[in-house]
Structure 1
Amino acid sequence: MGQRSPGRPALSAPSCREPAFRVTGTVRIGVIPTASAAAADIASPLSVRHPLVSLHRRLVVGRHRRPTRSLRTRRGITYLDHDVLEHYRCFPLYEERYVLLTADDPTVPRRAEISWHEASAPMYATVDHARPPILDEHFAEDGTHLNARIETDSVATLYAHVKTGQWSAVVPSMWSTVFGEPPGLRCTPLTENLPAPVVGLITRLDGPSSILVEALEETASTLNRTSSESPINQ
């Protein structure tokens, strides 16, 4: 549980600029696999502001949009859909867009983008958490569907499968900035046929927030890239 120096008030917006050593402890969050890279975007500035605060991240797997259905958690990083907005404090981080990850074939010219219909042809591996409904909605909008042959809760595992040359995968474009384009692989942006889902930090509305959660919320509030010309995942 978070601690602060005796006699100090709870963390508030003005007090966030006070010496960070007054906030200590471990804050735990659940994170969906496709957004796990976003935990690093929070952890880095959080550690700068509060060097004695640790962030414990737990991946939440399963066919659900948000961690609260799979894990008893009061905070997490997930999709900010309507149900979440009604029951949680929400701090948008980025808009999730997608690329088609394939083996690189030098004989095939690169393209600026590819349609979801075209992308449905190869054999697929996919992150289990991402479907349904997120990817299914995009494929359905283009009049097709995705028949994944391999499902995993690890984005890194997707890259490993695609590397064999037998598989393709739809991956959030954030991961193409994390891993780059490894030798032998190619990332092609998918057309934006639906509004991009927003991913963000959620914390429970009910009950008072601890000083740790307030520090986490204050940090996340500075990272909103959903209206920026250069989103956090691009």
Structure 2
Amino acid sequence: MIDKLEYLIALSRERHFGRAGEACGVTQPTLSAGIKQLEDTLGVLLVQRGSRFIGFTPEGERTLEWARRIVSDSRAMRQDIDALKRGLAGPLRIAAIPTALPMVAALTTPFRARHPDVRFTIISRTSIEILNHLENLEIDAGLTYLDNEPLGRVNTVPLYRERYRLVTSPNSKYGDRAEVTWAEIAELPLCLLTPDMQNRRIIDGLLSAAGGPPKPTLESNSMIVLFTHVRTGHWASVMPAMLADSLGLTAIVRSIPIVAPEITHLIGLVVPHREPTTPITAALVSEARRIAPRLEGLTDKDPALAVLTS
């Protein structure tokens, strides 16, 4: 039964029978037959079929909710029993929004010191993708915004507040200032994250409220791409303070506080709202709670990664 529920979850994620089969390590006919057996067992139609995957029936959507719960509990049980035999070990999958990626090491490094047999996979995703991955059991935890857009049914651990900076050349407009306002930044052509990123939606809202629509001259889903352009001395961007510091400021790049108003947003750990949770996830939550006071205690002038060496 568990394997057939896994097939259903994979189909909801991939929206394609062939890709779902590949994700489960079986052929498409095997996956289709497994779902048909599940339908026969439950006595209802779960999947709307045509020449391709169309969607789930109402009964299929409800079964999918149960499938996620049952599969999650099954994995947690196996991991819990295994942890009793040989301690905490195995994979830990974390997805983070791009602006939080430099802070992941502040969590994983002390965690690994306590649990050296855990293996990490870290991926960059949008805030929406993180929630979808959690729901479909593709990741164990995420680092994302906690206070800006709906999160759904997850447990959270607040870690730190994201503060914003104008990152620009000293010779550019406002580059010699001690601070700038959002209204002044609204006048500038900027390189920004793509609109699917929550950081971009936050900045768009702030700039629009300050006097005008954003004027991006370059968009990317990579903070590294934005920062390398700023380092040429010919571009400007808006970045979180911790991120700008962690990337390394040079003589040709300044990080200038943005005020009037000074806006912050809360970044934290999100994990599935399920009890009991897996031992690895429970340990990660405990580690996040331990380091949260240190992260939140960083001042605007502290390098982001100072927490790793303190």
Is 1:189 aligned with 2:257? yes
Q: What is the aligned partner in structure 1 of residue 144 from structure 2?
A: 78
Contact (CA 8 Å) 1:46, 1:216: kept in 2 or not?
yes
Aligned residues: 217
Which residue of 114, 131, 140 maps to 1:68?
131
Q: Secondary structure at the match of 1:90?
A: strand
Q: 1:193-204 maps to which residues of 2 (within 5 A)?
A: 193=261, 195-204=263-272
Which residue of 177, 181, 188 maps to 1:122?
188
Q: Secondary structure at the match of 1:224?
A: helix
Instruction: Indicate how the Cα distance of structure 1 residues 60 and 68 shifts in structure 2: closer, same or farther if over 3 A, else same.
Output: same
Contact (CA 8 Å) 1:75, 1:203: kept in 2 or not?
yes
Give the Cα separation in 2 of the matches to 1:134 and 1:187: 19
Q: 1:18-167 maps to which residues of 2 (within 5 A)?
A: 22-61=87-126, 64=127, 67-69=130-132, 72=136, 73-81=139-147, 83-84=150-151, 87-105=153-171, 110-128=176-194, 129-167=197-235
Which has a greater percent of helix?
2
String of CA shifts for 1:30-70, please: whole Å, max 9, x gaps: 11111111211111110111111122111104xx5562147
Larger Rg: 2
Contact (CA 8 Å) 1:65, 1:79: kept in 2 or not?
no
Q: What is the aligned partner in structure 2 of residue 219 from structure 1?
A: 287
Gaps of 5+ in 1: 7-20
Shift of 1:116: 1.0
Q: Secondary structure at the match of 1:111?
A: coil
Contact (CA 8 Å) 2:145, 2:267: kept in 1 or not?
yes
Which residue identity lines up with residue 161 of structure 1 in the other structure?
H
Which residue identity lines up with residue 150 of structure 2 in the other structure?
D
Q: What is the aligned partner in structure 2 of residue 17 from structure 1?
A: none
Q: Secondary structure at the match of 1:36?
A: helix
Is 1:210 aligned with 2:278? yes
Bigger mean CA deviation after superposition, 196-205 or 101-110: 101-110
Bigger mean CA deviation after superposition, 36-45 or 144-153: 144-153
Instruction: Indicate how the Cα distance of structure 1 residues 70 and 28 shifts in structure 2: closer, same or farther if over 3 A, else same.
Output: closer
Which residue identity lines up with residue 230 of structure 1 in the other structure?
L
Shift of 1:227: 9.5
- Which one has more relative contact order, counting CA pairs under 8 Å at least 6 apart? 1
TM-score, structure 1 as length reference: 0.81
Q: Secondary structure at the match of 1:161?
A: helix
TM-score, structure 2 as length reference: 0.62
Q: Secondary structure at the match of 2:105?
A: helix
RMSD over aligned CA atoms reads 2.8
Which residue identity lines up with residue 121 of structure 1 in the other structure?
E
Q: Secondary structure at the match of 2:180?
A: coil
